[in-house]
Amino acid sequence: MKKIAILGSTGSIGQQTIEILRKEKNQFKVLLLTANKNHFLLSKQIKEFKVKNVFVADKKSYLILKKKFKKINIFNDINKIDKIFSPKLDYTISSIAGFDGLKPTIKIIKKTKKIAIANKESIICGWSLIERELKKHKTKFIPVDSEHFSIWSVIKNIDPKTIDEVIITASGGPFFKLKKKNLKKTPKLATNHPNWKMGKKISTDSATMMNKVFEVIEANKIFNIDLNKFKILIHPKSYIHAIVKFNNGLIKIVAHDTDMKIPLFNSIYDSYNKKYKSKKINVKILNDLNFNKVDRKKYPLIDILKKVPNKNTLFETLLVSINDELVKQFLENKITFEDISIKLKQILNNKDFLKYKLKKVNNLAQIEKLNEFVRLKTKSLSVISKLKWKKLLYFCYYLTL
């Protein structure tokens, strides 16, 4: 029986992992679930899988669950992971959304034989720390973002120097085929992804194409492939996930349905002998793959890749933190969709931030401190910018009187 931990069990990836385990419950023992504050769904998962260890980030939800489940370990401090699990877990999926996933990911590595990570921010900001823990504790790592799993599946155990080019595909998000130029891009529209069922944050990143910027940085770190070897193509059908060209002329293409359970299933079972019920090969799509170059006017954030250093620095934390805060403001209707790109570029060039491009990542506390500072600074710069704009409008109005 495989011993399992699910970090972020109430999120989209966590729920899909639960669905896979549910089909062969007798083969798995879920020892840990973590969530932010969805105690209703978490309660159901605890009962269904008879889970004995639960971490909840939100204090109110923690107290509710603590009162409800008196015979199991419910904790609010992630450091207590150190006191549970012996011997090692067989498999852990890390799918906590956003920056919050970094610390639990680093903490759990020493407790598991294999970790599948679906959290971009953890890898982008803290890959050097994650990699160090993986080596130290001999923990196997599998990336489960569809693009990274696809690349991994064709290049594992291959020298990265033999890779000539890597193409990562993008759906283009909900606004790719947008014809109405003056349409207001609201949070509701931005989070309505045409192909994938995802959370609001990642759906917004897909709409701005920031998720592809993150995926290229992530792939650069995971696979140790030079940033200049990556290319992004828009593929609205999301059937092809990665194309890898090798120095010997061979090109390998990885395709699968728009179903995140496919990489998740394969990360859990890691075997071609295990059958996943999927659709037949779609010849219609193969005959009409429809690749497009990225329109840099429509997706201006793609140009940020030119600024990313080819080594681990605090620049990546800077980038993730600014974007996180701006997306949060957009989803709260405090800024417009277009503001995300405009403000991100402006803030990234702020004199207080430029120095981090040269600073090396040393520890988790350093990343956490910078994230907190950057988010506060981003919020203040964004508000200041808004106030200045309002003053300018009032001034222009005054001149017309």
Level-2 CATH architecture, domain 2-143:
3-Layer(aba) Sandwich (3.40)
The pLDDT tens digits of the residues spanning 365-385 come to 999 999 999 999 888 877 655
What is the chain's percent helix, strand, coil content, to nearest 5? Answer: 50, 15, 30
Structure tokens, 366 = 């350093």
Give the CB-side neighbour count of residue 128, counting CA atoms within 13 A.
Answer: 14
pTM confidence score: 0.87
**Measuring CA to CA, which residue among 289, 309, 83, 119 is closest to residue 215?**
119
The pLDDT tens digits of the residues spanning 167-217 come to 999 988 888 877 666 778 888 988 887 776 677 888 899 899 999 999 999
State in Å, rounded, how far the first CA of the chain is from the last one.
Answer: 78
**Measuring CA to CA, which residue among 258, 339, 351 is closest to residue 300?**
339
Contact 61, 38 (CB under 8 A): yes
DSSP 145: S
Say which amino acid occupies 24. E
Average pLDDT over residues 266-289: 87
Level-2 CATH architecture, domain 309-401:
Orthogonal Bundle (1.10)
The pLDDT tens digits of the residues spanning 239-264 come to 999 999 999 999 999 999 989 999 99
Cα 339 from Cα 329, distance rounded (Å): 10
Query: Measured between alpha carbons, how far is residue 74 from residues 62, 181, 297 in Å?
Result: 7, 50, 49
Q: What's the angle, vertex CA 316, arms to CA 261 and CA 92, rounded to 5?
A: 30
Average pLDDT over residues 290-318: 90
Cα 331 from Cα 334, distance rounded (Å): 8
Say which amino acid occupies 273. N
Structure tokens, 342 = 């405009």
Say which amino acid occupies 282. N
Q: Would you kindly state where each structural domain of the chain is located, as residue ranges?
A: 2-143, 309-401
